Structure 1
C-alpha cells in the first residue's frame, strides 16, 4: 500500500507543486481510517481537479468510504501513460471512473483491445475519448464490430474524437440490426461509419424508430434510399417526432415566406435545417431577405447558405462584395451566393488580396466584420 501511495504521488502530482498543504491533504485522504476519507479533498489533491470540479464530482461519489479503489484506478491510468492533466479531465467528465474495477473490468478491457491490435498509446487515447463506455467490457465487442467500417484503429480513433455515444449502446439488439437495415437502404461502410461517430447517432435508436426515420427521409424530405442525400436526411429526422418536424416546417414557412413546395425543396437539399432553432433562422431571414434583398424562392433553392454562420460568413462576405462593387473595384456580375460557398482561403485570394492597393483597409475591415463589428466603410446608405 505504501508503494502504491508513492506511485500515485509520483505519477499524478507535479513535483514542483508538492507543497506541504496539498501533500498533507493527500496523506489525510489516503488514511486507512475510512471515517477520515474526504472525497472532495482527494479529488483536488490526488486527481488534480479544481475546487469547483471536485465539488460537482464529489456529489456522484458519496458512497466512497475509502481511497483503495480510486488509488488502484489512478495507478492503472498512470501505467497506461495518462498524464496528470489527462486524469483530471477524465475524472471531471466521469467521476465514477474511479469506481471501476481494475481486475474485473479495466484490465480485461485493455487485454481485449490489445488483442484487436490497439497499442497502449491508442488505448490511452480511447480512455479519454470514450470515458463511460471504456469502463464497460462490452466496448471490446463494440470496437471489434465497428473496426471494419473504418479500416483501421487509427481511423476509428480519429473519427471517435467527436464523442460518439454508439459504443455505449446494445450491440446485438440495437447497433447490428440498425446497421443491417441501413445496408438494405443502400448505405455503404463509409456512410455508416459517418453515422457511427455522431454524438447523436441514428445507430443507437431502436430499429423501429430508425425505420420510421427512413420513411420520413424519403417521404417528407424527398431523399430516396441509395441517394447521396439519404444519410443526411436520416440524420436530420432520426431524433425528431412527427409533431416536431411539422412544427419545424411551419417555422421555415413563416421565417422565409416559403410555400409548402419551397420548404420541400429546401429541406431536401439541406435536411439539417430541421434542427435549426427559430433564434438561428430568423436573423438569417432578416438579413438575407431584408438587407441583401434575396427572394425567398432563391434562398429555398440554395438552402446551404442558411447553414453558414451569420456573423462569421454571411454578413462579412456580403459587406466585402458590396464594398468592392460600390467602389467600382469589382464588376457587378459576381454572385453573392458563389462567394459564400468557397473556402476562406479562396475568398481571401479572390476578393481581398488582389485589391490591397485599391482598398488598403479591406483586410482589416473584413477581419473586424468577422468579429461581429461593422466598420464605417461597410455602412452603406
Structure 2
C-alpha cells in the first residue's frame, strides 16, 4: 500500500464539501479525510489500533490546508499535552506532505524498510524525512551500494548518518579510522554494523581508539566487530569500567584474560551487579574507585 493520497485529486476533492479549512476544529472531518492514512501513525508514533483519533485530528488540523497538505506553521493553541506531541514534528507540519514526506516514506517502504524503522526515523530526526526527493533518493541508493540490507535496523541509521554529513566530513572520519591501520573495506563493515560509529566526531574517534589500542592493548580491528564502542563515553563508561576490571584483576577476582570489551557493553545495572556489588569484600573500595572515575552518585 502506497502512503498518502491526493495525487489524483481525490483527497482535495473531499475537503471542500466536508467543510474542512485551515485549522478546522472538527476532528471527525480531519480523520475522515485521512482515514487509513499511514502518515498519521508515522507522525505520531501510534500503531494501528492504538491511535487516538481526536488527538491525531487536532495535530493534523494544526497544519492541514484545503488541499490536505501541511502548508503552514501552526498558529492555533491547544492543550499543553497536545502541543508537546506536535513540538517535535514542527518540521513535518511545515512541509507539504505530498511533495516530500510521502514520497520519501514511500521510497523507504518500496526498498523494504520496515515501518517501525521509518517511524523511528521520523520520531528521532523528523527533519530528515523532509529532505528533497532527489537528495533523499541519492542517500538511499548510497546506503544500498554499501551493501546494507534495508530490512536491517542499521539501514535507517545509515540514512541518518549520511544525511548528517557532507562528503568531506565522511572522508575525514574514514581517514581517522585508517590512521589506526583499518582498511576501507573494514571501515565500511564497521559502518554497516553500526552507522553511529560515524556520528562520533573525529576527535572522539581518535581518543577512543587511542584508549582501546594504546592504553588497553586491544587490536584496532576490534572496532570492526564492535563499532558501538566508539559511541560510548570515554570519561563516564570506558575509563571507569576499565579501572574497575583492572582493580579486580589485581586482586585475582577476574581472570587476566577476561575479554574487556564485554564489560564495556553491559548496561550500567548489570555491570555494577556483576563486577562491583557481587564482590562484597572489595565492594566499598571498588565503588569508591568507580565513583572517582565517573563521579558516580552516592
Q: 1:175 aligns with which of 95, 101, 104?
A: 101
Q: 1:273 aligns with which of 194, 197, 206?
A: 197
- Per-residue CA shift, 1:49-93, capped at 9, x if unaligned? xxxxxxxxxxxxxxxxxxxxxxxxxxxxxxxxxxxxxxxxxxxxx
Question: Distance between the aligned counterparts of 1:368 and 1:161, measured in 2?
Answer: 39
Given that residues 143 and 158 in structure 2 are in contact (C-alpha distance below 8 angstroms), is that contact kept between their aligned partners in structure 1? yes
Q: Which structure has the larger Rg over C-alpha atoms?
A: 1
Given that residues 63 and 69 in structure 2 are in contact (C-alpha distance below 8 angstroms), is that contact kept between their aligned partners in structure 1? no
Question: Distance between the aligned counterparts of 1:191 and 1:263, measured in 2?
Answer: 24
- Give the drift of 1:135: 5.7
Given that residues 159 and 197 in structure 1 are in contact (C-alpha distance below 8 angstroms), is that contact kept between their aligned partners in structure 2? no
- Per-residue CA shift, 1:17-76, capped at 9, x if unaligned? xxxxxxxxxxxxxxxxxxxxxxxxxxxxxxxxxxxxxxxxxxxxxxxxxxxxxxxxxxxx
Q: 2:169 aligns with which of 223, 240, 244?
A: 244
- Give the drift of 1:112: 4.1
Given that residues 164 and 196 in structure 1 are in contact (C-alpha distance below 8 angstroms), is that contact kept between their aligned partners in structure 2? no
Question: Distance between the aligned counterparts of 1:134 and 1:327, measured in 2?
Answer: 65
- Give the drift of 1:338: 0.8
Q: 1:308 aligns with which of 222, 229, 232?
A: 232
1:210 partnered with 2:136: yes
RCO (CA 8 Å, sep 6+): is it higher in 1 or 2? 2
Given that residues 240 and 290 in structure 2 are in contact (C-alpha distance below 8 angstroms), is that contact kept between their aligned partners in structure 1? yes
- Per-residue CA shift, 1:322-349, capped at 9, x if unaligned? 1101121222242111112211111111
Moved more, 325-334 or 288-297: 325-334
3-state SS, counterpart of residue 282 of structure 2: coil
Which structure 2 segments of 5+ residues have no match?
A: 1-20, 32-51, 71-81
> 2:122 is matched with which residue?
196
> 1:63 is matched with which residue?
none
Matched ranges for 1:308-327 at <5 A: 308-327=232-251
Question: Distance between the aligned counterparts of 1:167 and 1:159, measured in 2?
Answer: 12
- Give the drift of 1:111: 4.0
Between structures 1 and 2, the one with greater helix share: 1
- Give the drift of 1:170: 1.8
Q: 2:208 aligns with which of 284, 295, 303?
A: 284
3-state SS, counterpart of residue 192 of structure 2: helix
- Give the drift of 1:200: 5.5
Moved more, 328-337 or 344-353: 328-337
TM-score (norm 2): 0.71
Question: Distance between the aligned counterparts of 1:282 and 1:306, measured in 2?
Answer: 9
TM-score (norm 1): 0.56
- Per-residue CA shift, 1:103-149, capped at 9, x if unaligned? x96xx3554499545557x96xx7xxxxxx986445x9679xxxxxx
